[in-house]
Each structure stands twice: as C-alpha cells, then as structure tokens.
Amino acid sequence: MATGMGVRVSSVWAASANPRTRSGSAQFVPLDWYPVSEDNLGDDDGSDGGASASGSRSPYRGPAFAVLRAVVVLVVAAVGYQAVVPSTHVVRSRLARLVVTRPTVKAFDVKPSSESAQQAAQSGVTALTTAAKRSPNQTGIYAVEWLPSPSQGAVIFAFLLPSDAQATTALAQLRGDEMGPQSYANDSLALRSTFTVAGVPGSSGSVYTPTSKTATPSWLSVAGVRDGRVVALAEVVEATPSQADSIKMASTEYAHLRGVEPGFSLDVVTRSLPMTIVWVVGAVLVAALAALGPVGWRRRAERRAREREEERARVAAAPAHHIVKRRRS
C-alpha cells in the first residue's frame, strides 16, 4: 500500500465487551484515521519493505560517485591551471648551453677568455639573417673564445636555427664563407688542404697557411659540424700547421650537441608561486565540496523527512491516546 494512504479503523462500540451496555445505552466512538506506509505495514511476508528496497542498492555507489566528482573537478582545475597560470618568455642566455666550456684540447684546457651571445641578424650568413627576421626567438649565435698565449687562440661558434633544413643551408653557406679558397685572403692566409671530422656526417674543414713571412706565423684550421638545428664552427690558430686540434674541438662540440640540441628552446616557462598555491587550495576545496556536498544535502533532506514523519505520527497518535483513556474510564 502506498505511503501516505490511511486505513479507517472500524467503528467500535465503546462497551461492546460489556453485555450490560447492549440495551441501547452504548455509545459509538469512532477512531481517527491512522496513517499507514510500507514501512509500518511491511510486505506480504511480514518483512520490512524499506529494508528490502534499500538492500538492493550497492553500498559502494555513493562513494564511487563522490570520488568521480572530485576527480572531474581536479582534472578541470589542472587544465585551467596550465592555460592560465604559466607564462613564457625568451631567455637568450640559454644559448650558452650550446657550447662546451672545456674543449678537451690540452693547449686550450683553460678558462674561456670571453663568451657572449651575438646578433644573428649581423652575422653575414644569409640563412641566419633571414631566420632572425622571421623567427627571432628561435635563432641565435653564441661564441666561446680561449686565448692561452699570444700565438694561440681558439673559438667555437654555435648557430641556432628554427629547423634542421635551415641549419643544413646555413652550414653550406658557412663552407663557402668560412672554409672557402678565398675566405681569409685579406688576412694573408691561403687554403692548404681540406678534411672531414671522423664520425660526424656532413662535416667539413679547411687548413690555411700564411702567405707572408712573419716572426710568428699563424696557421688557421676551421671545422664545421651540424646536429639538428644547431651548426657549430671551431676555429683554431696555432704556430704550427695542424688540423688535429680543430678536429678534436669540433668532435667534442658535436658530442655535446647530441645531448643538448634535442628539445632545446630559448623559451622559459615560469609559474607564479602565490598563484599556484591559491589555485591548488581552491581546487582541493571545490573538489571536496563536489564530493561531500551532495552527501550532506541528502542526509539533511532525509533527516527533515524523518522529522516530518515523526511529527505526523505524533499528531495521528494523539486521538487514539484519548480514546483509550475514555474506554478505561
């Protein structure tokens, strides 16, 4: 029988149990309506209907939905955090990571005399100039120089370009500009021989000899290598004709680039600590509210429903209580 319906308790002769009242002096005492629900009637087999209905519901359903709501809130908060809080800016000093500081050549195993980032737009290399105009935040030059003595010197240049194809073009242009037959004619140096760096694909190098007699003749060797988006150029000036030092420097730089170039970027992402703390605390509070709020609201509603049922039961039981007193009297 549905909850909220009532069963009219049959009218009872107040003195039906007393034969003396059957003469017509008996009084008819109607009893009031008594509310009946499935909880107090039970099923046909006498069991409690409410318990049977609630027993079919899984005890893990509520906690599972609470966890799911919290997870959804945290995922949305994480996506929003990545879209709002981090800020990206270019740090050109990161170019220093592209060049080794110890070239592993004994004569130049000293502290660098100078190192700095240079303007790619003023390099004179067409590929670099074009890339610097179109993608300035992905293009750059960094140079490290060693001067252990007046007659010895070495420098390694690292050229960063936006793509591998542009780096390949830049290396080809550097071969013509820095390793060609007339590259150092104005410095009284003539091309003597060319070479490649063993184990480095696409590498090339040149050795230049002095064309004028001086007290301290200087020989120049230049080697160029490429790894990904970075081209490296090693130049060594010595008092003896040798290409071994420039080859070793270029080989060391190439090994260094193999570990540094993949994923290299001038972009630096920063996250404000106060904003991060506020975001995390807010996300946790909202997740907790989403997980536990519906549970509290449901329990509050159930408690109010029980209070209303108890109040109705008290009101319904009051007339029956008075009738019992009259019958006993």
Residues 71-95 pLDDT 10s: 888 888 888 888 887 877 888 889 9
If one counts every other C-beta atom within 10 angstroms of the C-beta of residue 254, the result is: 23
Alpha carbon distance 220, 189 (integer Å): 8
Q: What sign results for the dihedral spanned by CA atoms 21, 23, 25, 27?
A: positive
pLDDT value, residue 252:
94
Alpha carbon distance 301, 293 (integer Å): 12
Evaluate if pTM is beyond 0.75: no
Q: Which has more confidence, 46 or 138?
A: 138
Q: Which has more confidence, 319 or 317?
A: 317
Q: What is the pLDDT of residues 289-317, one digit of tens each?
A: 877 777 677 777 778 888 788 778 877 77
Give the tokens for residue 117: 């980032």
Q: What is the pLDDT of residues 214-241, one digit of tens each?
A: 656 688 999 999 999 999 999 999 888 7
Instruction: Give the amino acid at 127.
Output: A
Is 140's pLDDT higher than 50? yes
Alpha carbon distance 202, 226 (integer Å): 7
Spatial contact of 70 and 292, defined as CB atoms under 8 Å apart: no
Give the tokens for residue 35: 């509310």
Alpha carbon distance 29, 31 (integer Å): 6
Rounded to 5°, the CA angle 169-173-178 comes to: 145
